Amino acid sequence: MDLRAAPFPIALLLAGHVLALLVLAWRARQVCWSLLPQVRLTGWLGATTLIAVLWQWSAGIKPGLSFHLLGASALTLIAGRDKALIGLAAVVLATCANGHADFLAAGLDWLSGPLPAVLCADMALRLSRRYLPANYFAYFFANGFFGAALSFALAACCKLLLHALAGSYTAAYLAEEALPYYLLFSWSEAFTTGLVMAALVIYRPQWVESFDDRRYLEGR
C-alpha cells in the first residue's frame, strides 16, 4: 500500500504534502501534550515503533501495490485518533526512509491510507460505545476485529481509487487483480489486531486509551 511518486502529477503530490501537514498540525494542537501520562506515552510510542517495523515486511505485486499490516485500528484504540494520525505519519516517513516508498508521495500516501483507516476505526469505536453493551467482548469484536477489517478495507479502496483516477492502473485491473486480495488480507489485519488488543487489555490495560476498566469490567 506504499505509494510511488512516478504515476502522479507533481502538483497533486505537492498538494498532498500541504494538506497532510495542515491536517496533522490541526490534530496535533488538539492533544494535551503536557498532561499526557507517561504510561500512555509509552503505549503510543511502543505501538508506533512496532507498526513501523511491520510495514517493512511487505509483499508487492506491482509498484505501489504492496501488502502489509496497517495497524491503524490498533494504534487508534491504543492512543486515540489524533495521536494515531501523528504516529502513522511517522511510520510513513520511516517507510520512505527505508526505500519502500517515495518521500515525494508521503503526503498523498498518508492521506489515502492511514487517514481514512484511523477515521474509520475511530467511528467504529464511537458507534460501539453508543449502541453495543459495555462489556469486554463487545469491545474486542466490534473494534479489535471488525473495526480493524473495515479500516484496512477502506484504506485499500482509497489507495486503489487513487491509482485508478491517476491512470497508473486500469480500474478493471485493480478490481480483478488487486481488490480481492486486499479484502482477503483485511482479515489478517483483523485477526492480528484482535490478538494484540486482547493481550494488551489483559496484561497492559493502562497502555490502551480506549479501554476503561470501570466501563467494561467493573461490577461484572
Quick: pLDDT tens for 168-192. Answer: 888 999 998 889 999 999 999 999 9
User: What is the per-residue burial (b if ≥16 Cβ within 10 Å, else e) of 134-155?
Assistant: eebeebbebbbbbbbbbbbbbb
218 against 30, higher pLDDT:
30
Can you give the pLDDT at residue 21? 97
User: Confidence class of residue 219 from pLDDT cuts 50, 70 and 90?
Assistant: low
Is 99:113 a contact under the CB 8 Å cutoff? no
Can you give the pLDDT at residue 168? 84
Q: Around Cβ 220, how many Cβ atoms within 10 Å?
A: 7
Can you give the pLDDT at residue 217? 67
Predicted confidence (pLDDT) per residue in 99-141, tens digit: 888 899 999 999 999 999 999 999 999 999 999 888 888 888 8
Can you give the pLDDT at residue 72? 95
Cell numbers linked to 99: 526505500
Task: Determine if the pTM surpasses 0.85.
Answer: yes
Can you give the pLDDT at residue 220? 55
Predicted confidence (pLDDT) per residue in 47-86, tens digit: 999 999 999 887 777 777 788 899 999 999 999 999 999 9
Report the distance separating Cα 60 and Cα 67, nearest Å: 6
SS3 35: helix
Q: What's the mean pLDDT when you consider all of the chain?
A: 90
Predicted confidence (pLDDT) at residue 155 exceeds the cutoff of 90 = yes
Predicted confidence (pLDDT) at residue 19 exceeds the cutoff of 90 = yes
pLDDT cut 70: percent of the chain above it: 97
Non-local (6+) Cβ contacts of 73 within 8 A are 117, 120, 121, 124, 143, 144, 147, 148, 151, 152, 189, 193
Give the residue extent of every domain in the chain: 10-216
The second-level CATH assignment, the architecture, of 10-216 is Orthogonal Bundle (1.10)
